[in-house]
């Protein structure tokens, strides 16, 4: 997948979180799998909505990152993360809390890898800072996600 502006990449990531939020909500509403699974899916849906909202703040017209978002790039390095993430959302397994958590972790780590790749190939300091910020946020979110899902599992 090729992006032409950094804004497009960030928009794609925000939309990806929105798609996962919808999938988790739909699975939670199906009533299959029991109470813990439903609670886990609802938690993940809210978590994905929050991640989407945070990325949309980056995209806001008054964002500190507005200038870098308009930066154009022609990425000679392929971005293999997008197809992997698309396959994850298409084959979401929601049989158990652990399988849902595993999928969520793979998705977050894949997005984090995407941001880390962009840090490595950043042309400007502002671009590097943006993707370091996004990568760092995802790292923190993965830790929080594991902690909170473990609490749900212990519930």
Q: Is the pLDDT of residue 64 over 90?
A: no
For the record, the structure tokens of 122 come out as: 């950043």
Instruction: Give the architecture (CATH level 2) of 6-154.
Output: Up-down Bundle (1.20)
- The distance in angstroms from the start CA to the end CA of the chain is 41
Per-residue model confidence (pLDDT) at position 55: 92
Q: What is the mean pLDDT of the chain?
A: 83
∠ CA 124-125-127, nearest 5°, is 65
How is residue 148 written in tokens?
């909170």
What tens digit of pLDDT does each residue of 106-128 get?
888 888 888 998 898 888 899 99
Query: Would you say how long the chain is, in residues?
Result: 155
Per DSSP, the chain holds a count of helices (H) and strands (E) of 6, 0
């Amino acid at each position: 997948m090729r992006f032409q502006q950094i804004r497009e990449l960030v928009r794609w990531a925000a939309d990806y979180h929105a798609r996962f939020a919808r999938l988790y909500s739909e699975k939670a509403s199906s009533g299959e799998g029991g109470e813990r699974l439903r609670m886990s899916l609802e938690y993940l849906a809210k978590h994905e909505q929050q991640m989407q909202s945070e990325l949309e703040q980056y995209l806001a017209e008054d964002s500190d990152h507005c200038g870098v978002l308009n930066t154009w790039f022609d990425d000679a390095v392929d971005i293999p993360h997008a197809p992997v993430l698309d396959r994850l959302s298409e084959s979401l397994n929601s049989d158990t809390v652990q399988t849902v958590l595993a999928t969520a972790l793979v998705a977050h780590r894949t997005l984090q890898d995407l941001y880390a790749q962009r840090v490595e190939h950043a042309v400007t300091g502002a671009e590097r800072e943006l993707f370091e910020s996004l990568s760092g946020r995802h790292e923190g979110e993965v830790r929080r996600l594991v902690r909170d899902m473990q609490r749900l599992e212990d519930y």
